[in-house]
Structure 1
Amino acid sequence: MESGPLDDKRPGSAVANPTVEQLKRDEKTARRCFVAANFLSQTADKLSMLSLFSVIILFGPHGELLGLSSCLLLLPFILFSFPAGMLADKFSPFRLLNRSLLFRAGILLALSMLLPQMLDEVQRCLIVAILIVALSSASAVFDVCRLKVTPKVVKLASENNGKENALAPIVRLNSLFWASLAAAIMSSSLLWLATGADFPWTLLRGSVVLYVLAYFAGSRVEDICNEAYRRKETTAEMSFVQYLKRHKRATKTLLVSAGVGTFSLAFFVCLTLFAWQGHRLSFPLMTELLPALSLGLLCGGLAANQTVKRGGLTKLTEGLAIVLAVSSIAAVVTASTGKLIIAQLGVFALGYTASKSQSLLDTLCQSIFPRQYRGRALGLRAALQLLPLLFAAIYMERILPSVSLLPALRVLSITALLFALLMAFVWNDLLFLLCRLFARALLKVFFRFQIIDKSRQLDDTASGVNFWGRRRTVILAGNHTGWLDPLIVGAIFERRTRFLVMDEAMKWPIVGQLAATLGAIPIKRGHGHDAIKSAEACLSRGESVLIFPEGKLTRDGSVGEFQSGVARLQKEAQCPIVPFAISGGFEAWPKNKKTPRPTAIRIAIGRPLEVRELRDLSVDEIRQLLHDRVLELMKND
């Protein structure tokens, strides 16, 4: 499989075998220091940029300033993100993170001492440009390393609370990073207002102090993690490009994440520039919009935590389309009205959607990529989502002083909606989720559909179909009653499930195309072994597979003899088998009828047959055990 929720789940050999209580205390300390380091670093970044903007604002019109500053900020970030990920995969990301803080502190201190002594405007502008490039490059290293080590910092929390969703601690920490960004924006703004633009040198030196404090906080995190985990990073089995080619789901996740991030940032930049242009806001602070942005970022982080508690990341694909739609509507409505309160509401909505979507997307990328490739994946994503903004910044540097941004916002909104539609086909889960919702509604209305979940364990909250149906890769096996069976099983799970279909059915109009889109595995008569191999490949990629062990539809509604294909597949793939029993499917639409009849349908989901239970059993024993479980579910239904 590609990776689990946390591919590096078990701690390495500890130095002194710390107790569970000590691990809990260390995890809490590391998490607090990590958030503090991020807050101090973000505050110093915002404060230093505000100070530098106040210096170079004297050298040209605002449009030139915006174009110059945006290019100087974005270009180094784009160029250094992927190399930073390569370094983070090869060396200690904690050390790189802390060194980036010291680098920013050192260069900011040195150049801020030289800057007031220079009277020549060209030299002063050159020093400011060097500062912006250096700070942006070091910030790229910091952000990539921060995202790479986040699962490691929260790993102790997931170990100590086995009943909690394994991704919940990571989402919580990622949302705290966005909350710290909101606090950093407000803190830097308040410091700017309190000090005034007349003292930029004081603020620059204050930023040096914040970087040093962030370094001490980051060093504390490094010490705790180095003490708890004593092992070397394992070398990658293949190159990063080969990994992306082999793991299509990871590649699609990376591209969709970068696309959503690009649109979130583009909407925010366009909207703030439009508000500045239309309402004559104070630049560069824009105090009229910053409180709304900070509140939106904070609320988005809280919403991300609630999302992972309710439905996990499997519902993320539904949320991404909503994020793009909300961003489009907010941007167009804000740009079409001349009231400042509408602009503030629009900025709040964009901050909310950006924080929520990026917290979940960060977690998704951190969980789906193994740690050997995680740094490069996150660095590539950062470069991809900022590259379009660089071209936009270069273009706006020329048109901003004289041209309205309203047409640009409209074009951006239409592009975002088209991207959402494209995403439905590139990231196939959206189409599957829509079909699942339609199938469940159809079954509820016409067949009084009922789900009986018998897979939940009384002593384990992390069980039941709502848990393993989203989180685990399983083989679904049960009785084959009628033509509605794939629709019945597919309507249960919130995760796309592959299923086997006869090759003749794949040639049917509409039905065959829909089955192919949803990921059906064709079976040719006499070549069942090839279909089993295809199913095994799907399981190895982390996709669940639905198989009817009888191999054919029942003629009288009874459960026939099971074939050995499911048992052989389990032996090869080493995945759990989830038994199910369908009642009423034969009465609703049997094999010898051309049209369905409205009859009550129920499906009972049994307890998964775990790998450890099946390890010592033969293929025939597994086949018979599965048959007995399905019969038991039908009797107790």
Structure 2
Amino acid sequence: MNQFRLMTTRRFLPFFLTQALGAFNDNLFKNVLLLMIAFSGLYSQQAGVAMVNLAAGLFILPFFLLSPIGGQLADKYEKSALIRRLKLAEIAIMAAGALALYLQYVPGLLAVLFLMGAQSALFGPVKFSLMPQQLREHELVGGNAMVEMGTFVAILGGTVTAGLLFSSEHATMLVMGLILGLAGLGYLSSRAIPATQAGEPALTVNWNPLTQLVRTIRQARRNRTVFLSILAISWFWFIGATYLTQLPHFARDVLGGNPQLVTLLLTVFSVGIACGSLVCEKLSGGQVELGLIPLGAIGISVFGIDLYFAGQQVVVAQNVGVMAFLSTGENLRLLFDLAMVSVFGGVYVVPLNALIQQRSDARSRARTIAANNVMNALLMVLSALVSVVLINGLGLSVLQLFLVVAVVNIAVACYVFSQVHEFLLRFLVWSLTHVMYRVKHTQLSHIPEEGPAVLVCNHVSYVDALLIAGVSRRPVRFVMDKDIANLPLVKYFFTWIKAIPICAHGKSPKIYHQAFEAISEALEQGELVCIFPEGKLTRTGEMNEFKKGIELIISRNPVPVVPMALKGIWGSFFSHRHGRAFSKLPRRFWSKVEIVAAPKVAPDAVTALGLQKKVQRLLSTV
């Protein structure tokens, strides 16, 4: 996969190692502390539970207090230097942790845990705001996938290593040496991170955590799409925290498993998210593909619901081990459902993270990511509270809790997608272009990355607009016949994509003039507009004559025009070959379709006949 090539670049590898080593170290130390509280014999069972909850609270509290400050620092200062300072702080914190471990002083370990949370809270905004500056646009999804994969593998690795070392003969010395060594390696890798430009060097830092927290959330809400994406990511962490917290209880109390079975379930869940994250780059074609977000949400709920029913069929045995558990088919279904919940979780969250990085204002990107970190922490705390209420208060089983989460996920997804139509639109486009067709695109770099332009294309089928929308990195406003735009049910879809309905002047002068006004307004606002100058679908497979409307558009708004051609769509279910479109059974699935563009034409050189000839040449090119 293309994202693995990033591991050979200085732009990414040192940063990846720095964040992965830090995540591993955090979870190693935290889990050693939790095991010490649980098995040291210093506390009663009730006091031990209280101390575990206190430890969890101390680690997550800094994310509320310090993430907003971390966001300001990451926007104000050069990020690689800031990361090195934070990694030096990690070495000092781990030195204090090693001393507290040697003395077996739990209050000191709790204090170190709080400082670790503080260091992570300050590090979060800088690491995610660094990627859009270091990576190219087509690398952003792959970079996020690698970071997500590295984070969950590091979490799993730290958790498992803590359990292995805690039961060893020289546990204290081994843990002390490892946490100091990992902190040192993290600092060394951070020294190789290339320098980046500060987002807003003149920013005055507000050191009041409470007022800055309010200000950070308020600032993130200015961009509704970004803020709803933050809420969607936070919901992912609610789901993830619920599963990671409850799986040990589920394995021990419901399945009757031994500690190795607990490790197996945690490994399956963590590796599943890592695999789902890596698959994203392949599915997205190197761009921030928002269509994967609904796909991920659907998968989480479908397999989460089936996990509940699979759980009714599992074979329970006392102190069952991994091999005995895997020997039963019913148990494999449960394991598969758990894996797929996490795989689709990875597919769901990676595009959301990339979207926030891509669409946030570069000057305040780190503060937006800080808002995301705060909301993530809030939903993780809420996950714990909801689990306590449902399990201890209402008497639900762990499986029933998982079912509730899967069902509520449907409601959350419906709300987010109803508010951000772009997610659902991109899902429909992605589904069409990956299920019915294999879409190849050539020379689409001719489409300007910013600023107004008009795309002109031959018109072959009713899905031409969807195919073009699927390959364009920018949103496109399509001009289409009003009868198509007003088709039952489909008209809501065309309203979402802000299609511009048009008809012949003689048929309705009002609609005709309104269309040209809407086109002019869209171009004045710097948008891409796509028209099909033939004015109707071909019924022969040959291109119809281009109408003069394109000349009128350019005379009002002198913008560049990009000729495009659709190849391979003639003969599909949506074209008029072999009879009217939609009137015959589909004959082809996953057939090859190509979209090719030519260099843009300057406004003063635009003529309908000239554009028709350019599109014809594109169609005739093999």
Q: Taking structure 2 as the reference length, what is the TM-score of the superposition?
A: 0.72
CA drift at 1:416: 1.1
Q: Secondary structure at the match of 1:319?
A: helix
Give 2:354's aligned residue: 363
- Give the conservation status (yes or no) of the 8 Å contact 1:171–1:360: no
Q: CA deviation at 1:414?
A: 0.5
1:133-172 alignment, distance < 5 Å: 133-153=114-134, 155=135, 166-168=137-139, 171-172=142-143
Residue 506 of structure 2 is aligned to residue 521 of structure 1? no
CA 1:422 to 1:636, structure 2 compared with 1: closer, same or farther past 3 Å?
A: same
**1:591-610 correspondence runs (5 A):** 607-610=596-599
Aligned counterparts of 1:511 and 1:357: Cα–Cα separation in 2 = 26
1:324-363 matched pairs, under 5 angstroms: 324-329=300-305, 331-333=307-309, 335-336=311-312, 337=314, 339=316, 341=326, 342=331, 345-363=336-354
Asked if the contact 2:237/2:379 (under 8 Å) is kept, the reply is no
Structure 2 matches for 1:299-318, cutoff 5 A? 299-309=275-285, 313=289, 315-318=291-294
In structure 2, what is the equivalent of residue 217 of structure 1? Answer: 189
Counting aligned pairs with the same residue, the percent is 17
Instruction: Indicate the SS of the match to 1:477.
Output: strand
Q: Identify the residue that residue 530 of structure 2 maps to in structure 1.
A: 546
| 8 Å contact kept, 1:550–1:562 | no
In the alignment, which residue of structure 1 is the partner of 2:368? 377
In 1, the alpha carbon distance for the partners of 2:100 and 2:439 equals 73
Question: Aligned-pair RMSD on alpha carbons?
Answer: 5.0
Distance 1:294 1:490, change over 3 A: closer
CA contact (8 A) 2:60 2:377 kept: yes
Question: Relative to structure 1, is the Cα distance of residues 521 and 274 closer, same or farther in structure 2, using a 3 angstrom cutoff?
Answer: farther
Work out which of the residue numbers 233, 238, 242 in structure 2 matches 1:262. 238
Q: Residue 384 of structure 2: which of 393, 404, 414 is its match?
A: 393
For the pair 1:625 / 2:610, whether they are aligned, the reply is yes
From the superposition, tell whether residues 127 and 551 of structure 1 become closer, same or farther in structure 2 (CA, over 3 Å). Answer: same
Per-residue CA deviation, residues 8-62 of structure 1 (Å, 9 max, x unaligned), is xxxxxxxxxxxxxxxx999734533333323321221121112211233253446
**Matched residue SS, 1:545:** strand
Equivalent pairs, count: 564
**Are 2:536 and 1:536 equivalent residues in the alignment?**
no
SS at match of 2:513: coil
Partners of 2:92 and 2:141 lie apart in 1 by: 32
Moved more, 101-110 or 58-67: 58-67
CA contact (8 A) 1:549 1:565 kept: no
Answer yes or no: is the 8 Å Cα contact 2:477–2:530 preserved in 1: yes
SS of aligned partner of 2:120 = helix
- Say whether 1:408 aligns with 2:394: no
Question: CA, structure 1 residues 566+550, in 2 after alignment: closer, same or farther (shift >3 Å)?
Answer: farther
Instruction: State how 1:86-235 maps to structure 2 within 5 Å.
Output: 86-110=72-96, 112-114=98-100, 126-153=107-134, 155=135, 166-168=137-139, 171-172=142-143, 174-175=145-146, 178-179=149-150, 181-182=152-153, 185-186=156-157, 189-190=160-161, 192-196=163-167, 201-202=172-173, 203-204=175-176, 206-221=178-193, 225-226=194-195, 231-233=197-199
Q: CA deviation at 1:175?
A: 1.6
Gaps of 5+ in 1: 1-23, 119-123, 159-165, 445-449, 457-462
CA distance in 2, matches of 1:255, 1:575: 39
Match of 2:319 in 1: none
Distance 1:80 1:283, change over 3 A: farther
CA distance in 1, matches of 2:221, 2:6: 41
Aligned pair partner of 2:419 in 413, 426, 435 = 426
Q: Aligned partners of 1:66 and 1:519: how far apart in 2?
A: 52
Distance in structure 2 (CA, Å) of the matches to 1:514 and 1:424: 13
CA distance in 1, matches of 2:97, 2:606: 75
Distance, in Å, in 2 between the alignment partners of 1:360 and 1:376 is 19
Offset of residue 390 of structure 1: 0.6
Per the alignment, do residues 439 and 630 of structure 1 end up closer, same or farther by CA in structure 2, a change over 3 Å counting?
same
Larger RCO: 1 or 2 (CA < 8 Å, sep 6+):
1
Segments of 5+ residues of structure 2 without an aligned counterpart are 204-214, 317-324, 503-510
Q: Is the 8 A contact 2:566 2:593 kept in 1?
A: yes
1:73 is displaced (CA, Å) by 3.0
Quick one: distance in 1 between partners of 2:84 and 2:61? Answer: 22
Does 211-220 or 289-298 show the bigger shift? Answer: 289-298
Distance 1:188 1:412, change over 3 A: closer
- Correspondences of 1:474-489 after superposition (within 5 Å): 475-478=454-457, 487-489=463-465
Hey, what's the Cα distance between the residues in 1 that align with 2:115 and 2:238? Answer: 23
Looking at structure 2, the residues matched to 303 and 608 of structure 1 have their Cα atoms a distance apart, in angstroms, of: 28
Q: Distance in 2 between matches of 1:277 and 1:292?
A: 19
Mean Cα deviation higher: 281-290 or 512-521: 281-290
Deviation of 1:322 after TM superposition, in Å, equals 3.9
Give the Cα separation in 2 of the matches to 1:360 and 1:520: 25
Q: Return the TM-score normalized by structure 1.
A: 0.71
